[in-house]
Structure 1
Amino acid sequence: MSITDTTESTFDADINVAQPIVLDFWAPWCGPCKALMPHLEAISEKAGEALKVLKINIDESPKLAQRFGVRGIPTLVFVKEGMEEGRLVGTTTSRLNVVLEKWVGLRGLRSSVSGEPVPAVAAAVTWSSFAGRQDLKDAAVERIRAIADERSASPSKQMAETGALLEAELSIPASLFTFINYIWDLNYAFSFRSYPELRELIVELVSAIPVGKNLQSMPRQFHYDILYRSEWAIAQYFDDHDVLDFLGKLRSAHERELQGVVVPESEWDSLRDEAILLADMDGDRSRISRAMEALARPISRLEGSTVSVAIGRAHDDERREPYWSPQDVARTEAVYSKLGKVVQDELGVRPTSAGSELHAWYEKGKVIRDTWLARQREEDPEFWARHALYEQNVLDTRKKMADYLSAQLQARLAAVHT
């Protein structure tokens, strides 16, 4: 596969070839674009002349970006005989591999260039929360109570530096703190509670963890219940047969996992492929496809995907938001993508180290963003009025999830005591 830079002046000649073409819309300031490039180069060694990649810098060729309706980058557009057959926006390497295998018939991409980690086989662990010691629990509660700065690390970081240490030192599954961290993050990021109230809530949750109990199955069951048996159950948001069929297969795999059956890694790979191909290179289902891909893994490895997907599907439910369409979502993403470029053009790349320089960058960036967005609202007040309704629904949904997680976790921990 050849990788060629093309421009508005050379594009029509460059695209006049027999083999399938991938149009890679990118920009020098786009980090994800740069991260994707080594993967495209690795694929080139596998594909040979079966595929051609044309790289299009949207800053230098804005008319090409407009011609193909590019709203965000990286965008990969798949073309055969001059006609678009599909696209991937903000893709991952695994999604690109699966689509290319189907579209061009390339085989073995994932085994040769995917770089996906192979999960380790977990060693047998005897779980006994706080190692059966009340003094360890008391010390953990005090570490949470002593947090003086709301910008401090998440609760799990206060308990132990890593998830592995959390499990090794306190014999508590790190997955349990996935939920506690999410409660912290939602309440802090959106100011649903004052900081003293939030800290006291986390103290209450950690205090509710019993001593000397095997808590391994509790967070896994919580993940399952959110996905399939709660008011947040994913299937309720779909009437698409393909999506519902996929969710049925995924639920079956998760049920068997909860029953202690070892689900083969090949089955999870197959589910991930099916989730990716739900989009069928069609932008109309790409967001759904990405959400299903995030869930297509063992419950023990879901981490925050369950909560984030549940929140996303709830606040993107068109039945609750007749005023907000997928086209509006795409337009908003394009606006904020352009805004990010405006800020970076003005201030340069964001500093990577915490400190006064980073703080000053954020403060100046906020002024630029507020001024720029004010002009956008003046130009199209009707769109931004609908956007405000959508944003309020998103906020209400996140608040509802934060309260749900808190109440459910307290109830489930209390049930372990009995």
Structure 2
Amino acid sequence: MSTATGQRSRKTLTCTAEANAYQKRFGADLRRRVVEEGEPFAIVQADTPHEIFHVMDIPIITNQWWSAYISAKQLSGRYFQVLADHGYPENSCKYCSLGFACTLANDPATAPWGGLPTPTVLVARLTCDCIQHVFGQWADAMGTDFFPLEAPAWPKKDPLWFKHSNRQWRDVYDPDRIALLVREMRDLIALLENRTDRRFEEEKLHHLMERINEQEGYLWEAAQAIGTARPCPVSIAEQMPNTMIPQWHRGSDWAVAHAKRFRDEVRERIDQGLGAATNEKIRLMWIGAGVWHDPGFYQALEERLGAVFVWSMYLPFAGPQYIRDVQGRPMDALASRICSMNEVLHLPPWMNEWMTSEAERCGIDAALVLLPPDNRLSQSGTKITAESLKASGMPVLSLDADMVDAKNWNHDHMVGLVADFLREKGLA
């Protein structure tokens, strides 16, 4: 399929521009601190304890955000060719390996920020077979170390985990799994203290956890308001940056204040009767990571068919998975947040039960499911979730495409597929 350039998303919220501007300033500040002043920094997966680095004032780059940023710059095709030129299989997991590909390209003239400097460490949970290979070889290419975190089996299957995860986190997430991650986090802290001039203070972590609770509370209030409002005040094209950019800086003064601004702007639009579409008719659910190379896809049918993407995992995840009653044990509470973050988003029975419940809460008319062909972990749980939604009576359309690789994506073709699907199901 020929690849058409992705479309930009429309910005209606003031806070969307503010979030993007903040992240741009963060990039410039990180380059100054790391490249010019020689401060330590780390490259980490999304489901790792970012809070440890925040407490120690060690900047981090989240691999998934970096991949999304590269993809948005329309550079993924070039870098995946670099992987192929180095002998890596073309069906490698794209989301986790795009940053590695950028490093292998070693072309500061075209790389975002001129490429990433050498980090103090790379950190990832071993949630699938490819993680250790990608991060281990990435660390070798950058001349640094990879610190792996275990992802042990989760024997307790609680499909309704999201109903009592904030306070009963010890029971929900398994005390043994929590204890293992606490031990590993203390080993990570020892490594960071040994290699930097920074020290970890548990009292600061406790304060940070409480600030994160405040931030996530604002986001969860926004998610609840969006789910019940008719029309939907803001589509996921703007929910995503206003959720995830603060999440990369969670607990900071800026992140807490921005989450509040976002919630307030959502409420203002609801009070004024403003919707993402001028004539909302169809409420859609998006399952999977964002299509980062074509954010305008989510708004393409708002005016033509009144079809609005109301739901994606990013915003409503703030409530059940991030908010924690610390109970005087900040390390344990943090471990409960991290030790199953990937699992509840991508594996049954946790993923499908939560998303089916969310579809009902938000009055969803149809679901679209992203099935990246080379991401096995993303496919397995996602397909079962699609079946759960179908069993509830929900029309479901699966799209064979990748979140960061635009090779098999054509904007007009994909928008047409969705429009035809909605007409076929009698929704448009």
Same fold (TM over 0.5): no
The structure with more helix, counted as a fraction of residues: 1
**Class of the TM-score when normalised by the shorter of the 2 chains:** under 0.3
Q: Which has the larger radius of gyration?
A: 1
